[in-house]
Structure 1
Amino acid sequence: MKIFLTGGRGMVGKNVLLHERANRHEFMAPTRDELDLRDGAAVLKVIKAFQPDIIVHAAGKVGGIEANRADPWGFMIENVSIGMNVVSAARQAGVPRLLNLASSCIYPANHSGHLTEEMLLTGELEPTNEAYAIAKIAVLKLCTYARDAISGIEYKSFIPCNIFGPFDNFDPVRAHLLPAIIRKIHEAKTGGENTVEIWGDGTARREFMYAGDLADAIIEGCERYEELPPLMNVGTGVDFSIQEYYEAARRVIGWNGSFQYDLTRPAGMKRKVVDVSRQAEWDWKPCISLDQGIENTYKAFLEGL
């Protein structure tokens, strides 16, 4: 297939391009310098010229709690803009298939159980990443409207859980939870520190999946698109406490210190784990364990220093 991939220089995009089956297909994955996705006319021109069989939309402005709180305007405007441009260009160019990547942060914040696809737009969003979530919902719904309005258009969306892995962002301000943990514990180990700070009390629960597994789901989704439901969670279906993620990173990295808790800092949703029933019916599941994923990610972090 001819696959147009946005975000090809991001963590997910790079893992897709390095997937063992990626060479079966012809990818076009322009860099930001080559194509600014905020420029709708330019996006349409490139997509029309390439004439892809499918578009995978994995681009976006991403970051952890602190980055989202500091710049909600930027997270909203950029993610809405690029998503609208890509989906609109796909429709105008007559591209029949588009696989959009949303995020599990689009689900209601105050739910203690597994998050099902039917729960979309049934409750308030988590305030610390509300702008990003609203942008992701807008693009997901645009895919739904295009599919409902035009015969032959089959635009679908994955809703991945939190992702980590090689090519992640380890910046202490912008990083998501797991890469931030890896960096903090590495610096504590190399700096001879005996303690590492955890935001909150460590009891909030999160689900993380290795980026290579999400890449596998994306390749599988492109190859088995007809079998794919219009909207599907992609994840492990298993969550751990923030404390347990710190302990796993400590174990893999080999640091023997202890943890301190800053209860004045935001910890986000109390629990966030997706229901993977549709994913199981589609007959796919991730295969990389948490410790193996952290080990691979830590190795990539060290290689990038």
Structure 2
Amino acid sequence: MAGKGRLLLTGGTGMVGRNIRAHPAARDWTVLAPGSAELDLTDAAAVEAFLDRHRPDMVIHAAGRVGGIQANMAHPVAFLDQNLAMGRNLVMAAHRTGVRKLLNLASTCMYPRAAPNPLREEMVLTGELEPTNEGYALAKIVTMRLCDYIRREDEAAQYKTLIPCNLYGLHDKFDPKHSHLVPAIIHKVHEAKVQGLESVEIWGDGTARREFMFAGDLADAVWKAAAGIDTLPGAMNIGLGHDHTINDYYATVAEVVGWTGRFTHDLSKPVGMKQKLCATDRQAAWGWSAPTALRDGIAQTYRHYLEHHAA
């Protein structure tokens, strides 16, 4: 067994989980990362039996049913029910089997749709949620609150929540039907270069602002938290503390890819929220900041794309 003990990581085959497992700090732990075929997190009895059998010293919950706006709108029952079951089953089983340390990874979708920027942790549950992903957000809020309540009843339980901003990076999804903004731009601009296209279209005027952090940086924060979970507040954003325009992301990707065409804007297309930026006051007081600059993160992600996804 590695020096710091045994650790159960859920969602170990997803983008976040794979980045957590690839971080050098993972070598300090014996990491159990069962896939869904080995451990169905929606099966409460199976989750408790797994924890009772393996007795991890710590749990990191990074699993979840995730998807874009269309998927969330089409399947709200599944997004609420499955994510709620995963969070509740894992947190309650950990508590019942004596796990003292649990790190829960949440989402900025928990913040009210009309909350002012930057988004501060105390704003959760102060307003109406974004309707398009309300089910997913409710499940994440309940899991976070369950951790809060367990800490309230059991002073020895270190059950804490990190709230990451939007992510991109290695092991991302690049298929345009399933990808988020940054991997979608990488695929789009790469295809423009390969096909010799002179222009690439951007939806809207490109001035909407987004905060995207390199997934490897989240992994770095997660392992710092694992090493000193008692130093964490109950809930804490993990983000950059600054954002970029959509135009900035396209320009940076074009520079990395080496495409020298021009961008056009389709003002008839939807652009979503104008801004969604996390406050990082608690994170700064905790002593951590994201180390990867945008261009460096996109360059690493593009190399991964070329190796594993480009035709």
Q: Given the alignment of the two structures, is residue 282 of structure 1 paired with residue 286 of structure 2, yes or no?
A: yes
- Deviations 1:143-194 (CA, angstroms, capped at 9, x unpaired): 1122212342221100100111100111212211111111111112212222
Q: Given the alignment of the two structures, is residue 156 of structure 1 paired with residue 160 of structure 2, yes or no?
A: yes
Query: Counterpart of 2:24 in 1: which secondary structure?
Result: coil
Match of 1:206 among 206, 210, 213: 210
Q: Given the alignment of the two structures, is residue 110 of structure 1 paired with residue 110 of structure 2, yes or no?
A: no
List alignment gaps of at least 5 residues for structure 1. Answer: none
> Which residue does the alignment assign to 2:194?
190
For residues 182 and 216 of structure 2, what CA distance do their matches in structure 1 show? 15
Query: Counterpart of 1:272 in 2: which secondary structure?
Result: coil
Change (3 A) 1:264 1:123: farther
Q: Given the alignment of the two structures, is residue 303 of structure 1 paired with residue 307 of structure 2, yes or no?
A: yes
For residues 199 and 131 of structure 1, what CA distance do their matches in structure 2 show? 27
CA RMSD of aligned residues (A): 1.6
One-letter amino acid of the counterpart of residue 277, structure 1: D
The answer (yes or no) to whether the contact 2:11–2:61 under 8 Å persists in 1 is yes
One-letter amino acid of the counterpart of residue 17, structure 1: R
> Which residue does the alignment assign to 1:97?
101
Deviation, 1:234, is: 0.5
Percent of pairs identical after alignment? 50
Q: Given the alignment of the two structures, is residue 165 of structure 1 paired with residue 166 of structure 2, yes or no?
A: no
For residues 204 and 92 of structure 1, what CA distance do their matches in structure 2 show? 45
For residues 117 and 250 of structure 1, what CA distance do their matches in structure 2 show? 35
Query: Counterpart of 1:21 in 2: which secondary structure?
Result: helix
The answer (yes or no) to whether the contact 1:110–1:270 under 8 Å persists in 2 is no
The answer (yes or no) to whether the contact 1:128–1:268 under 8 Å persists in 2 is no
List alignment gaps of at least 5 residues for structure 2. Answer: none
Q: Given the alignment of the two structures, is residue 230 of structure 1 paired with residue 214 of structure 2, yes or no?
A: no
258-267 or 285-294, which moves further after superposition?
A: 258-267
One-letter amino acid of the counterpart of residue 218, structure 1: V
> Which residue does the alignment assign to 1:13?
17
Deviation, 1:112, is: 4.4
- Deviations 1:2-33 (CA, angstroms, capped at 9, x unpaired): 11100111111111111112111111010112
Deviation, 1:222, is: 0.5
Matches within 5 A, 1:46-195: 46-195=50-199
Deviation, 1:264, is: 4.3
- Deviations 1:194-219 (CA, angstroms, capped at 9, x unpaired): 23232333222111111111001011
For residues 47 and 15 of structure 2, what CA distance do their matches in structure 1 show? 21
Query: Counterpart of 2:34 in 1: which secondary structure?
Result: coil
The answer (yes or no) to whether the contact 1:65–1:176 under 8 Å persists in 2 is no
TM-score between the two structures when normalised by the length of structure 1: 0.95
Query: Counterpart of 2:31 in 1: which secondary structure?
Result: strand
Deviation, 1:227, is: 0.8
211-220 or 125-134, which moves further after superposition?
A: 125-134
- Deviations 1:39-73 (CA, angstroms, capped at 9, x unpaired): 11111111111111110000112233343334333
TM-score between the two structures when normalised by the length of structure 2: 0.93
One-letter amino acid of the counterpart of residue 223, structure 1: A
> Which residue does the alignment assign to 1:272?
276
Change (3 A) 1:66 1:302: farther
Change (3 A) 1:40 1:185: same
Q: Given the alignment of the two structures, is residue 31 of structure 1 paired with residue 51 of structure 2, yes or no?
A: no
For residues 185 and 78 of structure 2, what CA distance do their matches in structure 1 show? 25
